[in-house]
């Protein structure tokens, strides 16, 4: 069956939850449903407190939560013949000094066919539960290069050209069918991990471990904080700290076993020419979700 990559919202539905709704994958390999909405006057904690009870009361079994990083992971009905279940991941991250972006990913295993219309309706129900929670912006004292007088989020936004470069690097085929198949399935998560890691920096006076953006994608029982913080691309000594570190290329793709994927990302600063190489190891969980197993500086 062909893979899908399309916007599934009806033309007359102008809500952000519907406009940003998309589907990837196919019936045999499994499908991933996605949507996101930005909330310009909402705190991360406020959005988390709005969403957690709505998820819990919606027939989901919540498996893990982390309010500090804005992550909720839950399971729901729809189990495949080999016991893999459907997984909902909620990621709440800072998108502006006073707002957040809420990303929803619902992964259905191969052989399970939820109705696209039903998933979109459910996503809108969840996202519309988020209310305004204004946060006063306070000045911070810092001499960090490129920092501004107002408090900023810990993750910047990549430019359109940087996003395009990441998509092209992830989508480049290796020529090895088994590896390319794994890459295609994990591509949405790989893209998100690379975007976040290349745009994450330490803000003086902030709890940087709590702001670590990759924690929401870690496999159960795994912590990549130590290596991920050491190898963060924006730690380059001379890179301008008001912009993300772009991806130059991705090399070393390997699939040691089915459900495992390793690769090395080469980040190169446009402003200084410095290079940072980071290896990411991923595994496929008992459900259909790919998760982060390790982050290693090279």
Least confident of 63-72, 141-150, 264-273: 141-150
- Among 100-109, 120-129, 140-149, 205-214, name the one with the lowest average pLDDT: 140-149
pTM over 0.75? The answer is no
Cβ within 8 Å of residue 287, ≥6 positions away: 75, 84, 85, 86, 87, 107, 109
What per-residue confidence (pLDDT) applies to 85? 74
Rounded CA separation 213/16 (Å):
24
pLDDT by residue (tens digit) across 83-118?
Answer: 567 889 999 998 887 889 999 999 888 877 788 999
What pLDDT digit, counting tens, does each position of 189-207 carry? 899 899 999 999 876 656 6
State how far Cα 107 lies from the chain centre. Answer: 13
Angle at CA 159, nearest 5°, toward 153 and 162?
120
Q: What confidence category does residue 141 fall into, taking pLDDT thresholds of 50, 70 and 90?
A: very low
Q: pLDDT value at position 138? A: 42
Contact 129, 54 (CB under 8 A): yes
Q: What confidence score (pLDDT) does residue 7 get? A: 44
State the average pLDDT over residues 264-270: 96
What distances in angstroms separate CA 102 from CA 126, 169, 174, 219, 293, one per listed residue?
10, 25, 33, 20, 23
Three-state secondary-structure class, residue 260: strand
Q: Do 52 and 70 touch, CB atoms closer than 8 A?
A: no
State residue 59's pLDDT score: 84
In angstroms, the CA 296 to CA 277 distance is 9
Q: Are strands 22-26 and 30-39 parallel, antiparallel or unpaired?
A: antiparallel
d(CA 276, CA 278): 7
Mean pLDDT over each residue of the chain, to the nearest integer: 83
The DSSP code for 76 is: E
Beta bridge partners of residue 102, listed in sequence order:
37, 92
The Cα–Cα gap between 278 and 266 comes to 7
């Amino acid at each position: 069956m062909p893979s899908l990559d399309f916007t599934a919202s009806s033309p007359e539905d102008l809500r952000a939850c519907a406009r940003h709704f998309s589907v990837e994958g196919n019936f045999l390999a499994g499908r991933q449903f996605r949507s996101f909405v930005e909330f310009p006057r909402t705190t991360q904690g406020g959005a988390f407190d709005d969403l957690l009870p709505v998820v819990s009361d919606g027939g989901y079994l919540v498996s893990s939560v982390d309010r500090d990083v804005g992550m909720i992971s839950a399971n729901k009905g729809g189990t495949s013949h080999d016991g893999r279940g459907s997984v909902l991941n909620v990621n709440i991250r800072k998108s502006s000094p006073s707002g957040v972006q809420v990303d929803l990913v619902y992964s259905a295993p191969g052989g399970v066919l939820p109705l696209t219309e039903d998933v979109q309706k459910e996503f809108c129900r969840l996202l519309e539960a988020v209310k305004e929670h204004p946060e006063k912006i306070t000045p911070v004292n810092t001499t960090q290069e490129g920092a501004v007088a107002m408090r900023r989020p810990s993750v910047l936004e990549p430019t359109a050209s940087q996003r395009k470069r990441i998509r092209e690097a992830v989508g480049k085929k290796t020529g090895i069918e088994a590896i390319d198949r794994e890459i295609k399935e994990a591509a949405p998560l790989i893209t998100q991990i690379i975007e976040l890691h290349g745009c994450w920096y330490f803000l003086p006076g902030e709890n940087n471990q709590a702001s670590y953006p990759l924690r929401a994608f870690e496999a159960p029982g795994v912590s990549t904080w130590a290596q991920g913080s050491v190898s963060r691309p924006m730690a380059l000594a001379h890179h301008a700290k008001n912009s993300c570190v772009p991806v130059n290329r991705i090399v070393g793709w390997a699939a040691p076993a089915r459900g495992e994927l390793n690769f090395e990302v080469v980040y190169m600063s446009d402003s200084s020419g410095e290079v940072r190489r980071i290896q990411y190891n991923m595994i496929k969980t008992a459900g259909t979700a790919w998760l982060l197993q390790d982050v290693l500086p090279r």
